[in-house]
Amino acid sequence: MKKVLVLGGTGFVGGHVCEKLVRAGWHVTVPTRRTVNARRVQHLPGLTVFELDVHNEMALARAMAGHDAVVNLVAILHGDATAFDKTHVILVQKMLRACRTAAVHRLVHISALGVNGERPGSAPSEYLRSKGRGEAVLLHPADPADRPQVTSLRPSVIFGADDKFLNLFAKLQAVLPFMPLAGATARFQPVWVEDVANAVVRSLQVGRHAVFPQIVEACGPEIYTLRQMVQLAARLGGVNEGLGRPVLAIPDWLGRLQARMMELAPGAPLMSRDNLNSMKVDNVATGKLPGLQALGIQPAALQPIAGDYLGCGQVSHGLLGIRNRNRI
């Protein structure tokens, strides 16, 4: 049985990736800073959880030993330049060196739509700039002969039964009389988390010496503005008897003030100024790079799936959903 180390396996996307990998016959190893964070995946058959600080390079190399592949899902959406650099660039540098030390020859990396691997500094936000630098570390190393085979998946916004995007907007509109929204005209091409998870598995199944796409734009079949997705979340969630709430687009200056106030509140903000900067570029496929179809995946449409989980109130689907419902 092949073994894969999944960094970030305890998160939203990670839970689905781990489930797909187990179903595909992989033995999955998930390092986490605290074992309690892995409750959603630790009962999957053929999956091992252990405590590890992934930023400790020597410990990371030891953990990789004996594995055939590594999947990197570690990412943050909020923070300052130092935090983004630590997570999206320095960790990737450590991971690449650890792969060399442990003789791991296959790596799948989750990047982001909108990054520019050739000119990372041209992106409008710290998030996209750091993501671009991290991807460049993998795809354009100083010694191309001394690195694993890499596939970088660039997803648009990811939706799914346990997402913190559509679910959050539906919940907010359940209590607000109207929805003030910055970046209302920003465009996205939302992709189902199950399609992203399948893309990870398909990328790992490509033979070591086979031809494979280095970069895949992981996008759904439809393009929505942020306003349209917010309105859709309310309607599908049954807010105001399915009519939703009025969405009030606010100007950039007011949106930035609103985001600044959110940043000062405890916990992760719903929207940060850096998020607004990211939305200055459309989060849609360029059409110049392979899409999910290159991996044999026909991406799912948003409305049928989101209507299912927003309308029924399901926490999750599949094996993860059964466990979540059994814990209630």
Read off the pLDDT band of 207 (50, 70, 90): low
The tens digit of pLDDT for each residue in 52-65 reads: 999 999 999 999 99
327 or 314, greater pLDDT = 327
Higher-pLDDT residue of 129, 207: 129
Specify the pLDDT at position 148.
87
Burial of 111 (0-12, 13-18, 19+ CB in 10 A): buried
Looking at residue 146, what is its pLDDT?
67
pLDDT at 315 over 90: no
User: How far is CA 279 from its chain centroid?
Assistant: 16
Mean pLDDT, residues 236-242 taken together: 89
Per-residue model confidence (pLDDT) at position 44: 93
Q: Which of 284, 248, 279 is nearest to 183 (CA)?
A: 279
pLDDT surpassing 50 at residue 128 = yes
| Range of lowest pLDDT (9-23, 230-244, 262-276) | 262-276
Query: Residue 104's closest CA among 216, 7, 22?
Result: 7
| pLDDT grade for 318, boundaries at 50, 70 and 90 | very low
Please say whether the beta carbons of 152 and 138 come within 8 A: yes
Name the strand (E) or helix (H) holding 71.
Answer: strand 69-72
- Residue 317 and residue 222 in contact, taking contact as beta carbons nearer than 8 Å: no
Residue 243 pLDDT level (bands cut at 50, 70, 90): confident
What is the structure's pLDDT at 317? 44
Which of 171-175, 179-183, 257-261, 319-323 shows the lowest per-residue confidence on average (mean pLDDT)? 319-323
Residue 298 phi, psi dihedral angles, 5° rounding: -95, 105
∠ Cα 79 233 15 (to 5°)? 55
pLDDT of residue 316: 43
The two three-digit tokens of residue 319, written as one number = 């094996």
What does the CA dihedral 191, 192, 193, 197 come to, rounded to 10 degrees? -90
Greater model confidence, 325 or 94: 94
Question: Cβ distance 239 to 173 under 8 Å?
Answer: yes
pTM given for the model: 0.91
Average pLDDT of the chain is: 90
- pLDDT at position 227: 96
